[in-house]
Amino acid sequence: MDTPCGTHESRNQTKGNLTTVTEFTLLGFSNHRNLQVPLFSIYLFIYIITLMGNILIILITIDTALQTPMYFFLQVLSFLEICYTSVTIPKMLVDFLSDNRSISFVGCAAQMYFLLFLGISECFLLAAMAYDRYVAICNPLRYRLIMNRRVCLSLVVLSWFSGNMVSLVQTVWVFTLLFCGSNQINYFFCDVLPLIKLSCTDITSYEMQLFTATILVNFTPFSLILVSYVVIISTILKMASTDGRHKAFSTCSSHLIVVTLYYGSRGLIYLRPKSIKSLDSNKVVALMYTTITPILNPIVYSLRNSEVKGAVWRLLWDGLKGKIFSQRK
């Protein structure tokens, strides 16, 4: 494998007989040089489509017909997806075309913090969206009263606060470990599992603490989502009207698909006690939840939602009318 790893490791600081890592090297698929340009093209396309799709969702949910809590949460979700992909993909694109795949110690810490912050915030936001659907279907007469603007903003702030606190603790926890050996991260970005593998201290207790924290952070919102949908489905099945059942299911199906994609991919990596020993197999899954899930969210919500499709057509029609009017002037 032709990589300048020796150059990167020589930049580490030596204190006595102990070498302290000052920067890391993201290996990615560096051992497959023939794939670098195709991967660059594929992920550049994915990144552009992700940005366009999620920006479009934000723009169309400004439509006056979509001023409801569900679409407010969808706006926030799209914003998180834009930020989430922007934390990893630009650096990946540079690394695909460069022999220098280094990232500074501080840069690695910042990347990991924002990845955790945005990912955990999305976990809790999906739970807030499930609660919104629960109130809309199980308590429709009081929906506007319960899900007022103050409650919606509070749920979003709470999800961001939870994400910030957990990610801050985890990042400080990881980067206070001693890194004195190899600086080569067998991954595309700075994540907890591949980083603690590089530590030259005993990480057995930390791995168990990480596993416990992951279960709590993921299963707390997931449990809320599960309970919400058990009650929702029970309520829907009791509806006398077939059209009512169909409409209720259609409003929940997009959210359920997104939840399945998100928790399914994250669970494959973080909820296996021995996942630290199978980083190569985790790479593919990591690529899915950092790139594929964000690109699918706008597609899922637009294709399965008649109100969103209607807003898209209105946005296009308004743009076309404005262009025609300006040409006439």
pLDDT of residue 115: 92
pLDDT of residue 16: 46
Q: Pick the residue with more confidence: 81 or 212?
A: 81
63-72, 92-101, 156-165: range with lowest mean pLDDT: 63-72
Where residue 323 falls among pLDDT bands split at 50, 70, 90?
A: low
Name the range with the highest mean pLDDT among 143-152, 230-239, 298-307. Answer: 143-152
Q: Give the C-alpha separation, 116 to 104, whole Å.
A: 18
pTM for this entry? 0.82
Write the pLDDT tens digit of every residue in 82-100. Answer: 999 999 999 989 888 887 8
Average of pLDDT values for 268-276? 56
Question: How many CA within 13 A on the CB side of residue 152?
Answer: 21
Closest C-alpha among 159, 184, 306 to residue 246: 306
Q: Mean of the per-residue pLDDT values for the chain?
A: 79
pLDDT of residue 34: 79
Name the range with the highest mean pLDDT among 60-74, 115-129, 171-185, 292-306. Answer: 115-129
pLDDT of residue 17: 45
pLDDT of residue 322: 57
Residue bearing tokens 């009017």:
325
Helix (H) or strand (E) holding 169: helix 149-175
Name the range with the highest mean pLDDT among 1-5, 218-222, 324-328. Answer: 218-222
pLDDT at 74 over 80: yes
Q: Pick the residue with more confidence: 285 or 39?
A: 39
Helix (H) or strand (E) holding 306: helix 306-328
> 184 phi and psi, to 5 degrees?
-90, 115
pLDDT at 276 over 70: no
Using left for φ > 0, alpha for ψ between -120 and 50, and beta otherwise, residue 67 falls in beta
pLDDT at 317 over 80: no
135-139, 247-251, 324-328: range with lowest mean pLDDT: 324-328
Whole-Å CA distances, 319 to 173, 305, 314, 322, 326:
50, 21, 8, 5, 11
Average of pLDDT values for 39-57? 90
49-53, 234-238, 264-268, 312-316: range with lowest mean pLDDT: 312-316
Average of pLDDT values for 24-41? 81
pLDDT at 135 over 60: yes
Q: What is 31-310's CATH superfamily?
A: Rhodopsin 7-helix transmembrane proteins (1.20.1070.10)
Q: Give the C-alpha separation, 317 to 329, whole Å.
A: 18
User: What percentage of the chain carries pLDDT values higher than 70?
Assistant: 78
pLDDT at 305 over 70: no
2-11, 141-150, 218-227, 253-262: range with lowest mean pLDDT: 2-11
Write the pLDDT tens digit of every residue in 177-205. Answer: 888 777 888 888 888 888 888 888 777 77
Q: By the 8 A CB rule, do 209 and 169 touch? A: no
